[in-house]
Amino acid sequence: MKDFSHPNVLSLLGICLPPEGSPLVVLPYMKHGDLRNFIRDEAHNPTVKDLMGFGLQVARGMEYLASKKFVHRDLAARNCMLDENYTVKVADFGLARDVYDKEYYSVHNKRGVKLPVKWMALESLQTHKFTTKSDVWSFGVLLWELMTRGAPPYSDVNSFDITVFLLQGRRLLQPEFCPDALYTVMIECWHPKPERRPSFSELVSRISAIFSSFSGEHYVLLNTTYPSLSCHIRLVSSFTPLHPQPVSQPPPVLLLSSVHELKAVF
C-alpha cells in the first residue's frame, strides 16, 4: 500500500515499530474525519451535487486501486476520509471495525471473521470470495449511503436474512433526493451477475456525465423517511433484467420495470 499514489486514495506515510506494544501506522491527518460521520453531521448542508461529487471521487480512487489489481473488500462511507480541502480519500486499514462494530456481523466463516454483510455482493455472501466486481456492488451501496446522508442500508432486514433478500431480486429503494440516472447506476452495480456490473472506469465516466449535467442546489435533509423494505419490491430493470435463484415460498413481490414506476407506487 505504500506504493499507492492517487489524490483519492489515502497514502501510507510509514510504520513505527516501538520496542513494546503494537506497530503504529502513520497516516496523513484527515481534518474532516470519515465520510459517513461528515454527511451525518447536522452542521453540514450538502447538496445533491456535493454528495454526487463525493461519490465521483470515490469512484476515481477505486478506479486507480482496480488498475493496481487491489481488491478493497470493505468499501463503505465509513472507510473513506476527508481532508482539509474536502478531498475524499479511499481508506481502510481495519480502523472502522472498532468504531462501527455493529455494522459488521459474523457469517458462516470458518475463522469467525466479522464481515460487513449489508455492503457485500451477493456472490461474496455465498462464497466469501471478493473481486473488483464485488467492490463495484459495495460502491453502489456507498452511493446509496451518500444520497441518504448515511442512512443504514436494509435497516429492517436482519443481517442473517440479507442473502435470501437479495436472491429474491430485491434491492435498496431509490432515495428521495437521488436523480433517476444515478439510481440507474446503483441498480447496475447490484446486478446478480458480476460480469454484468460496470467497471470503475465506466462508473467514473457515467457519474462524471451525470454530475456535469446536474443543475440547481438541492439540499439533502437528514432523517428522511423511506418506504419500508418489507413492502417486498423487486426491481426488474429494462437494462439489466434480474434472474434470482429460486427460494422456498418467496413473499409476494411487485414487479417494476423502471425507477419511474417505482416513484408511481409511492
| DSSP codes of every residue in 166-199 | HHTTB-PPPPTT--HHHHHHHHHHT-SSGGGSPP
Cα(87)–Cα(60) distance, rounded to whole angstroms?
A: 12
Q: Are strands 233-235 and 254-256 parallel, antiparallel or unpaired?
A: parallel
Catalytic residue IDs: 74
Q: Which of 36, 230, 61 is nearest to 151 (CA)?
A: 36
CB-facing half-sphere around the CA of 219: CA atoms within 13 A: 8
| Beta-carbon contacts of residue 178 (< 8 Å; ≥ 6 apart) | 48, 144, 147, 186
Measured at the alpha carbon of residue 212, what is the angle toward residues 207 and 217, in degrees to the nearest 5? 105
CA–CA dist 183, 207 (Å, integer)? 11
